[in-house]
Chain A
Amino acid sequence: MKNKRSSALKKTAPLLLLAAPGLLYFLINSYIPMFGVFIAFKDVNYAKGIFGSDWVGFDNFQFLFKTTDAWIMTRNTLLYNLAFIVIGTICSIFIAILMAELLRKLYSKLYLSGLVLPNLISMVVLSMLVFAFLNADSGFINKSILGPLGLPEINWYSEAKYWPYLLVFIQMWKTAGYGSIVYFASIAGIDKSIYEAAKIDGAGKLRQIRTITLPLLKPTVIVLGLMSLGRIFNSDFGLFYQVPLNAGALYSTTQTIDTYVYRALMQLNDIGMSAAAGLYQSLVGFVLVLVVNAIVKRVNSENALF
């Protein structure tokens, strides 16, 4: 018994050692801070310290639900994230398939780097790029496209109705290339002999994609989809705050939970309330992952995440 244990440890020791940095990272960055969730239920008073502060139950959560904005920001957060997940997955797979076909050719590496590049641009810089296009007085779209075509100029930063499309487009431009890398890797991992067999059976390129590539990508899509679902109540602050230039007139389509919390608490500076918002977002995301995973498991247990 004793021998068995020590030999098992010997076997796993290198693996444990490999996992150690990752575990340590999670422990320090995710698990130890989790201890702080109780702050969400406290009225923080610095003289008493966080442990001595009074419990206030769910008071800190009220500000998230009490306003008419609650519905708008929840709707925006959910719909944008759904759109990003669905459209993002489609775009990324599309790019990955194109790249996989290109790989044998000379410049594929160049293309790949080019596609990843937008992801490295900071949102603040990106917001200025967007501004150069949409600026009312000297923007490219107003002056060089709408003007010469004889169409009326649009005041982009005060018309909320265009922003759902703009934001989805910007997000795709920025992240689709980067997102395709994982799919590209999965496609590269598909056994080439399957394609050869299909070719012999007379399947064309499109047929191969439809019946081989896409079904084999399904597990990757589900894993990545589940992981993004976990963050469905979170949003990219830069995209929703910086890119619309914090324009009040656009709040109805650009307000998300994160920007709301930021704007609401900037003045109050109340860590209890911000902790409450964070807890709420994480909890909903967690529940969503569990539910969707359970559904996936029921439909096809092999594809479930856990």
Chain B
Amino acid sequence: MNKKKGITALLMSVALAGSLLTGCSSSNSNSASNGDDSAKVEEIVFAMPSFNRIPDDLSKVTDAINAITVDKIGVKVDYRIYGPADYAQKVNLALQSGEKMDVFTTLGQFSNYVSKNQVAPLDELIAEHGKEMTAILEKDFGPDLLKATTINGEIYGIPVNKGMALPINFIYNADMLNSAGLSSADIESVDDLSAVFEAVKSAHADVVPFGPINVNPSDTNLVNLLKGTYKVDFLTDSSGVGVVVGDDGKVVNFYETDIFKDGVRMMRDWYNKGYLQKDAATTTITSMEMLSSGREFSYLGGYSGMEIGKSISAQTGRTIEAKRIAPFYFDTSAVNSVSWMVSSTSKAPEAAVKFLNLLYTDEKLINTILYGVEGEDYVKVDEHHVKFPDGKDANTVSYTAMFSTGIVGSESLQYQFEGISWSDIELKLRENKETERSPYFGFIFDQNAVKTQMSAVTNVVNQYLPGLVTGTLDPEAIIPKFVKALNDAGAADIIKSKQEQLDQWLATQGN
């Protein structure tokens, strides 16, 4: 009896101590934002994904950023930087635990954040504090850019402003092509590839003619190729179960269309002829590595601009060329997949939008975030170009986030690295406006009503798709199974729900 009481007392005291501790931490994080006084500088947390080495010390860059923002808009920025692998996790954790997190980006799941009410509607704030931003988005992309982040008439995010058309390029080793007696003129469309692979295979028996661009799960980019070629709109969820082909407004299951079946048959044909590795569906080696080691001839990739051959050559040390073989087709998710948002729990949404406005329009701010402190982390070469200081490179400068150029701000205001031609940036911006937009551009599917089915369908797609797009599975036998599994998982519900939402959306677009 006594013992029990003792334990209870102990547990109670521990629980008390615990609650005291948590009490402390929450009051700490609040005190920073208590500056209600309008003369005072407001503070926001800004989280940025970086594909470079994460620097140990951010204080210099943070100071440089604050020098700009405090002066111009009276906002102090608490700058956080995370690697791509844990970015979403860190941000989600902060949002879930109620930690301060004001400005962050999606890496692909825009509508999820909105449907869970994690982000704030920005209409009024943008109208008041984001005029310059709206202007530059309109200049670089067109007036309809923000449609991609508008749900139920409210803007919830700002897409990154860059070259967003990613036409499918055939990326290949030019030396191998030449030694097989062919030239780039022999590659016009995807129909020519079979003959090219055959020639390369007979000239280089030990080389894999074609490989998947992504591994685990493997993806040959077949789906994107078909999307661009046949104008397929995935209607913002990547599962592919409810898509519209062309402009007939009818939501169908992509995996039941002849487009998909024919595409997979082509892959199967390539696979059977030995153009792909036997373990293409499960390999863990990316095409980039295979290309570098000279063991692979080609892959398909979606890239903007015309300079991609050069930059892959530099990365792999081989002579790589790129040839566009399919156009791009703007659907909503092509544009909103990287969007900056303001947390719905932000205490200072105004300051956050003011900061976003600068993030898209202030050349100095954008380039400080990307390249660090001028003179220390980078030096300017000319108006548009920078390089590392002498004797330094990406690994030895104290700060660089140069691989995040596709994540932040406006590409037209970013400095480019020495050697990249400026005309390519202009081309990308032109293509933003010229690339064909889906008639359903701006439609965003709300998955909430069918999330049970979505989770089941996602699983089925993961199970079958990698094997099909790499040709390792026999389409004649597997596609019927695949479609049946999708239907068992509730594909029809998703299609129905999507069709309803699409019809409603179309009706509102009429006015």
Interface of B is mostly: helix
Would B116 and A45 count as touching, CB distance under 8 A? yes
Q: Which stretch (A64-72, A97-105, A294-302) binds chain B?
A: A64-72
Q: Which of B430-478 contact A (CB under 8 A)?
A: 447, 451-456, 458-460, 462-467, 472-473
Minimum CB–CB distance for B449 against chain A, Å:
11
Q: Is the CB of A69 within 8 A of B462?
A: no
Q: With the chains together, A196 CA to B213 CA distance in Å?
A: 68
Q: Are B452 and A245 neighbours in the complex by a CB distance under 8 Å?
A: no
Interface residues of B in 68-108 (CB under 8 A from A): 92, 95-96
Taking a contact as CB atoms under 8 Å apart, the answer to whether A246 and B463 are in contact is no
* Number of residues from A at the complex interface, CB < 8 A: 48
CB <8 Å contact, B279 and A47: no
Judged by a CB distance under 8 angstroms, whether A227 is at the interface is no
Q: Beyond A9-B2, A245-B282, is A67–B488 a contact (Cβ under 8 Å)?
A: yes
CB distance from A40 to the nearest CB of B (A): 14
Interface of A (DSSP majority class): helix
Taking a contact as CB atoms under 8 Å apart, the answer to whether B472 and A12 are in contact is no
**Residue pair B216, A245 in contact (C-beta under 8 Å):** yes
Chain A: which residue is nearest B238 at the CB level? A267
Whether B317 is near chain A, meaning CB under 8 Å from some CB there, is no
Q: Mark B333-365, 1 if CB is under 8 A from A, else 0.
A: 000000000001100000000000000000000
CB pair B117 A155 closer than 8 Å: no
CB neighbours (8 Å) of A128 from chain B are 284
A155 touching B112, Cβ below 8 Å: no
> Shortest beta-carbon distance, B47 to chain A, in Å?
16
* List of B residues within 8 angstroms of A45 by Cβ: 116-117
> For residue B112, which residues in chain A have a CB less than 8 angstroms away from its CB?
267-269
User: B392 interface residue, CB < 8 Å from A?
Assistant: no
A247 with B451, Cβ < 8 A, contacts A8-B3, A12-B3, A263-B462 known: no
Q: If the complex has contacts A131-B284, A155-B279, are A267 and B3 also in contact, measured as CB distance less than 8 A?
A: no
Do A246 and B217 touch (CB < 8 A)? yes
Is B277 in contact with chain A by the CB < 8 A criterion? yes
In residues 258-289 of chain B, which contact A (Cβ within 8 Å)?
277-279, 281-282, 284
Partner of A69 from B2, B459, B465 at Cβ < 8 Å: B459
Q: Is the CB of A23 within 8 A of B11?
A: yes
Instruction: Give residues of chain A (76-128) contacting chain B, Cβ–Cβ below 8 Å.
Output: 128
Shortest distance between the CB of A282 and any CB in chain B (Å):
20
A32 in complex: contacting residue of B18, B451, B454, B490, CB < 8 Å: B18
A18-38 CB contacts (< 8 Å) to partner B:
20, 23-24, 27-28, 32
Query: Which single residue of chain A is at the shortest CB-CB distance from B280?
Result: A136
Considering only CB atoms and an 8 Å cut-off, how many residues of chain B contact the other chain?
A: 52
Query: In the complex, how many angstroms separate the beta carbon of B51 from the nearest chain A beta carbon?
Result: 20
The answer to the question of B199 belonging to the interface, with a C-beta cut-off of 8 Å to chain A, is no
How close is A273's CB to chain B, nearest CB, in angstroms?
7
Which residues from B are CB-within-8-Å of A135? 279
On whether A263 and B116 interact (CB within 8 A), knowing A46-B95, A66-B452, A137-B279, the answer reads no
User: Do B282 and A247 touch (CB < 8 A)?
Assistant: yes
Cβ-based interface call for B501 (8 A): no
Q: Are B10 and A20 in contact (CB under 8 A)?
A: yes
Do B455 and A245 have beta carbons less than 8 Å apart? no
**Is there an interface contact between B458 and A263, defined as CB atoms closer than 8 Å?**
yes
| Interface membership of chain B positions 1-39, coded 1 if the CB is closer than 8 angstroms to chain A and 0 otherwise | 011001100110011001000000000000000000000
- Beyond A158-B472, A269-B92, whether A264 also contacts B456 by CB under 8 A is yes
Query: Interface 1/0s, chain B 199-231, versus A by CB < 8 A?
Result: 000000000000000001100000000000000
Apart from A27-B18, A28-B18, A67-B456, 9 more pairs, CB < 8 Å: A12-B6, A23-B10, A46-B116, A135-B279, A245-B282, A248-B463, A264-B458, A268-B451, A273-B455
Top 3 A-B residue pairs of the complex, sorted by shortest distance between their CB atoms: A264-B455, A47-B117, A157-B282
27 residue pairs bridging A and B, Cβ less than 8 Å apart: A16-B6, A23-B7, A23-B11, A27-B11, A27-B18, A47-B117, A63-B451, A63-B456, A66-B452, A66-B456, A67-B490, A69-B459, A131-B284, A136-B278, A137-B278, A248-B217, A248-B464, A249-B473, A251-B463, A260-B459, A264-B455, A264-B458, A265-B455, A267-B237, A267-B458, A268-B447, A269-B109
Residue numbers of B with Cβ under 8 A of A are 2-3, 6-7, 10-11, 14-15, 18, 92, 95-96, 109, 112, 116-118, 216-217, 237-239, 277-279, 281-282, 284, 344-345, 447, 451-456, 458-460, 462-467, 472-473, 485, 488-490
Listed in ascending order, the chain A residues whose CB lies under 8 Å from chain B are 5, 8-9, 12, 16, 20, 23-24, 27-28, 32, 44-48, 59, 62-63, 66-69, 128, 131, 135-137, 155, 157-158, 245-249, 251, 260, 263-271, 273
